[in-house]
C-alpha cells in the first residue's frame, strides 16, 4: 500500500510520499511513488501515485509521450507543451485510459482490479498553481480553497491533523511539517506504509525547486518530529481531565442533567423495556 499527500497553499505546493509496496507479508519492496517534471523558467509539475504498481509505472512511462489534440488549433498537446495545468492533467487522464485499454481486460481475467489513484500538481508559465486528483477512469477533480489538499492510499490516519492545521494561508514550512506529522501518524498505525519518504516543496512562481529530500530512518529532523509529536500528544492527553461521573465533583460532569443526555435504561427484569 502507500500514502501520498499534496497541499496547495497561497505560498506554494507541498508533496510527500512513502515508498513501500507489498504483495503479501513476504513480498515487501521499496518503489518511489513520486516523479518531478521540471523545465526551469517554464513549468514545474509533480506526480504522486498509489494503487497497482504495474499500472502506475505504465502510466508514468506513457505520460512522457502521450498527447491529446487541441480542440481549437488541432495541434498535439503533451505535458511539455501544454499551456495550462488543466491541459496537462487531461494528457495524464488520457495516459490512464491508454493503459486501461491495453491492460484492463487481461488484469480482469487474472482477478486483478484496475486500480490507480494519482495526484498531479504544479505550475505552468502564464497561470497560477493548480492541484488535481486523478481517478482510475482518467477523470479528475481540482483542489479549492475549501479543500486545499489531496491524499491517496492509506489516507485516514493522517487526515485529522491536516483538517485541523491546513488553510490556504498556512506558510510553506508549517505545511511541510504538518504533512510530515500526517505521514508519521500513518507510519505509526499502518505497516503497509514505510520509509524512505520523498518530499518536494515548491515556492509559487519559481518554476523550479531545490527543496527536494529523501527521508530515511536516520534523518535527524524526522527522528525529532517523530519523538516530539508522540511526546506532545501524550502531554496534551494527560492534561485533559478524566471523565467524572459525580456531577457535584466538577463543573463539567460526563453525566449532565439534561433531558436527552440520559443513556439507554439498563434492563433489570424481563418485564422492563428499553427506553
157-170: average pLDDT: 97
Split into its structural domains, the chain has a count of: 1
The answer to whether residue 170 sits within a structural domain is yes
pLDDT above 70 as % of the chain: 88
Phi and psi angles of residue 44, each rounded to the nearest 5 degrees, phi first: -140, 125
- CATH number of the domain to which 144 belongs: 3.60.20.10
Residues pairing with 124 in the sheet: 43
Is position 229 within any domain?
Answer: no
How does the average pLDDT of the chain come out, rounded? 91
Question: Does residue 167 fall inside a structural domain?
Answer: yes
CA distance 192 to 186: 9
In a domain, 252, yes or no: no
| Residue tagged 459525580 (cell numbers) | 246
| pLDDT tens string 80-137 | 999 999 999 999 999 999 999 999 999 999 999 999 999 999 999 999 999 999 999 9
* Residues 161 and 181: beta-carbon distance below 8 Å: yes
Tens of pLDDT, residue by residue over 22-59, are 645 555 678 899 999 999 999 999 999 999 999 999 99
Provide the grid cell at 104: 484492463
Confidence (pTM): 0.91
Domain interval for residue 198: 3-216
The CA distances from residue 163 to 8, 168, 184, 232, 265, in Å, are 13, 12, 16, 18, 37
* Alpha-carbon separation of residue 119 from 41, 169, 194, 274 (angstroms): 22, 21, 19, 50
96 in a structural domain: yes
CA 99 to chain centroid, in Å, comes to 23
Over residues 265-271, mean pLDDT: 67
Label residues 82-117 b or e (16+ Cβ within 10 Å = b). Answer: beebebbbbbbbbbbbbbbeebbeebeeeeeebebb
**Given the C-alpha cell 487474472, which residue does it identify?**
110
d(CA 79, CA 92): 8
What residue has cell string 491524499? 151
* pLDDT classification of 245: cutoffs 50, 70, 90: confident
Q: What angle do helix axes 172-189 and 220-239 make, rounded to 10 degrees?
A: 80
Give domain status of residue 251, yes or no.
no
Q: Has residue 249 been placed in a domain?
A: no
| Residue 236 within any structural domain of the chain | no
Amino acid at each position: 500500500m502507500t500514502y501520498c499527500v499534496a497541499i496547495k497553499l497561497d505560498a506554494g505546493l507541498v508533496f510527500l510520499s512513502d515508498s513501500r509496496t507489498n504483495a503479501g507479508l513476504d513480498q515487501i519492496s521499496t518503489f518511489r511513488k513520486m516523479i518531478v517534471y521540471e523545465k526551469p523558467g517554464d513549468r514545474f509539475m509533480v506526480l504522486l501515485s498509489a494503487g497497482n504498481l504495474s499500472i502506475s509505472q505504465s502510466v508514468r512511462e506513457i505520460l512522457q509521450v502521450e498527447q491529446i489534440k487541441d480542440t481549437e488549433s488541432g495541434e498535439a498537446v503533451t505535458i511539455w507543451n501544454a499551456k495550462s495545468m488543466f491541459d496537462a492533467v487531461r494528457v495524464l487522464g488520457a495516459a490512464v485510459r491508454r493503459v486501461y485499454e491495453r491492460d484492463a481486460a487481461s488484469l480482469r481475467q487474472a482477478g486483478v482490479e484496475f486500480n490507480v489513484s494519482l495526484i498531479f500538481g504544479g505550475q505552468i508559465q502564464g497561470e497560477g498553481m493548480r492541484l488535481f486528483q486523478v481517478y482510475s477512469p482518467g477523470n479528475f477533480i481540482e483542489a479549492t480553497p475549501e479543500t486545499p489538499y489531496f491524499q491517496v492510499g492509506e489516507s485516514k490516519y493522517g487526515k485529522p491533523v491536516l483538517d485541523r492545521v491546513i488553510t490556504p494561508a498556512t506558510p510553506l514550512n508549517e505545511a511541510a511539517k504538518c504533512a510530515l506529522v500526517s505521514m508519521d501518524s500513518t507510519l505509526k498505525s499502518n505497516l503497509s506504509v514505510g520509509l524512505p519518504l520523498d518530499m518536494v516543496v515548491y515556492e509559487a512562481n519559481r518554476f523550479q525547486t531545490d527543496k527536494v529530500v529523501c527521508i530515511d530512518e536516520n534523518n535527524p529532523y524526522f527522528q525529532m518530529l517523530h519523538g516530539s509529536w508522540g511526546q506532545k500528544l501524550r502531554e496534551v492527553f494527560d492534561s485533559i481531565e478524566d471523565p467524572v461521573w459525580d456531577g457535584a465533583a466538577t463543573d463539567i460532569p460526563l453525566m449532565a442533567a439534561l433531558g436527552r443526555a440520559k443513556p439507554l435504561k439498563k434492563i433489570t427484569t424481563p418485564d422492563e423495556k428499553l427506553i
